[in-house]
Structure formats: structure tokens, C-alpha cells
Amino acid sequence: MRKRLPTIFLLLTLLPLAAGLAYALAYSLGLAGALQAGLTTQHWQAVLGSPAVWFSLVLSLLVALVVVVLSAALALTTVLVFHRELGSNPLRFGAYWPLALPPIVAAFWGFQLLGNSGLLARLAAATGCISGPQDFVPLINDPWQIGITAVLTMATFPFFTVVLHQFYRSEQLPRLLELARSLGATGQQCHWRVTAPVLLQKLRPLMVLYGVFLFGAYEVPLLLGSQSARMISILIAQKFRRFDLQDLPQAYAITLLYAAVVLAVLLVFRPGRQMNGSV
């Protein structure tokens, strides 16, 4: 039984994904599905020649990158400023609360917060900055993806904060800082030359992994994204859900493009192997 366990593991993890991707490849090449008409590359040509597909891929990568960088910066600042409170304050349990927010609720909360009749708009109206919802700057369904970026950052940065604070203690940073100070480092130097590099180096694999998750984020762009600028998961879902069956081969081709990007990132950065800071 014990020898068979790795085989069962492969059957449950690799086989479904590999089978799904193989079917997607066959479908996109006209070799499977209801529309199969023999080997053809026309669907791939259509996908690779489509500006909308490349725009979605680049947009998704950019959103993921911006969210990860912003979240890491916010989390690092929070840990630098509140490390003592995060470690010993009786209220520190509150720092874990955002971990209980699922993406669909985060998206709904973002809608309620940033919408043109949302909480921020109400505050703006109460302070006399705007006279009605129409005056409020559009923060959701906007072409610049401000709403998506803001909500994904709000959801990601508390998690990074919790993890960074665990690193702060596991890496014995207080001792390192004491050593730095005894060698003459100033407070600022301690922050930027000791704490930040050590924590960010530890956080890097998680940043990569989270970047991959955010690249394929679905719920938040579904609710807060614009119709003209779609993230890749939304584009794929829309292609799959259209009534026109001619879109299905393209949907599978875009899925394979997405898979190629995810695999490339995982292969290049290998987030699972960097736990101890060694790349």
C-alpha cells in the first residue's frame, strides 16, 4: 500500500490537470469536441493574433505585480511600525480577521466601499465634497482597474503582514537589530539594511506564489472589473460561457496560454523550494 501511495497521489493531482490540458490542446487544434474537423491551427492563429488576448494577459500580469508589490510594501511598513503590538497586544487577534474574508465577499465589500453610492461616496457627500453619486470618481468597473487593485491589495496585505510578523520572530530580528545597533547602525539603517532585506527575502517565494494566484483571480475582477479591459480568467470564462460554440476552441487555446504562463513562473521561481531563503 505504502509503495502505491505516490501513484495515487499522481492520479489525484497530476492526472486530472494533465488530462484537462491535453483535452484543451486537442480541442484547440480541432481534434476533439463537437466541432472537430481535423487538425487545424486556425484557432491558435486567431488567439495569438488577438490584441484582446494579449491585453488580458498583460493586464493580469500587471495587476498581479502591482498588488503583490503594494501588499508587500504595506505589510512591511505595518510590521516595522507595529511589530511590538502584533507580538504582545491583547487585541492582536484582530490582525487575523481579514483572513476570514473569502474573495467573493471581499469583492462585494469593495463594491459597497468604492461604488459611486458606496461608503466612501457617502463620506464624500457628508463632507460636502460631492453633491450626488454621479460626482464621485469611478473606482469600480474603471478602465484603470483601480477597484480590482485596491480590493485585491486590501485582501492580500493583511495576510502578508501576518506572515512577515511570523518571519520577524522566527528570524530572530530583535537580536540582529541589537547587533546592528551595537555596530553603530542608526534606526533608519536598521530598518532598511537589516529588517527590510531579511523579511523581503523570506517573503519572496510567497510573493511569487501569490502573484500566480492573483494572475488568475476571478471573483474580484468578475464583480469590479470593466467589460472593455478584462483579466485573463474573466476572458476565459466569457469565452467558455458564450452560446457561440465557435468560441470554445479559442477558450481552450487561451486556457493553455494561461497554463504556460503559470508553469513558466513556477519553473523559473520555484516558490516551493525557497523557504529558507535559498533560491
Partner 1 sequence: MNVFEKWRRLQPQRGEGLPFKLNFDWNKGKPPSPRGEGTGVGRAPFAALLLLFALPFAYLLLLSLAMQWRFPLLLPEGLSLEHWQLAWRIGGLADSLGLSAVCAAVVALSSTALGFRMAHAIAAHHRRRLLVAIAYLPYAFSPVIYAFCLQFFFLKTNLAGTLAGVLLGQFLLVFPFSVILFVNHWTPRLRNMEALVYTLGGSAGAAWRRVLLPVSRPALLNGLFQTFLLAWFEYGLTTVLGQGRVPTLPVRVYQYIGEANPYFAALGSTLLIWPPLLLLWLNYRYQNRTHAAFADR
Task: Considering only residues 4 through 63, tell me which ones interact with partner 1, judged by CB under 8 A.
Answer: 5-6, 8-10, 12-14, 16-17, 19-21, 23-24
Tell me the number of residues near partner 1 by CB under 8 A.
Answer: 104
Q: Which distant-in-sequence residues (6+ apart) come within 8 Å of 189 by Cβ? A: 180
Distance (Å) of CA 37 to CA 26, 29, 44, 247, 255: 11, 9, 15, 15, 20
Please choose, out of 49-57, 63-71, 138-146, 213-221, the segment that lies near partner 1 by the rule CB under 8 A.
213-221
Smallest distance from the beta carbon of 214 to partner 1, in angstroms? 10
CA distance 150 to 70: 9
CA distance 266 to 185: 38
Which grid cell sits at 108?
462585494
CA distance 221 to 152: 9
CA distance 103 to 224: 12
Give the residue, chosen from 35, 123, 137, 260, that forms a contact with partner 1 under the rule CB under 8 A: 123
Q: Residue 55 corresponds to which amino acid? A: F
78 or 149: CB nearest partner 1: 78
| Contact map string, positions 81 to 110, toward partner 1, x by CB under 8 A | xxxxxxxxx-xxxxxxxxxxxxxxxx-xx-
Q: Are 57 and 68 in contact (CB under 8 A)?
A: no
Using CB under 8 A, which residues numbered 230 to 259 contact partner 1?
233, 236-237, 240, 251, 255, 258-259
Smallest distance from the beta carbon of 193 to partner 1, in angstroms? 13
CB count in 10 Å sphere of residue 5: 9
Give the residue, chosen from 61, 66, 133, 238, that forms a contact with partner 1 under the rule CB under 8 A: 133
Please choose, out of 37-45, 49-57, 139-147, 266-274, the segment that lies near partner 1 by the rule CB under 8 A.
266-274
Smallest distance from the beta carbon of 23 to partner 1, in angstroms? 6
Using CB under 8 A, which residues numbered 161 to 200 contact partner 1?
162-163, 166, 169-170, 174-175, 177-178, 187, 190-191
Smallest distance from the beta carbon of 185 to partner 1, in angstroms? 11
| DSSP H helical ranges for 89-145 | 103-114, 119-126
Q: Are 44 and 29 in contact (CB under 8 A)?
A: yes
119 binds partner 1 (CB under 8 A): yes
48 or 119: CB nearest partner 1: 119
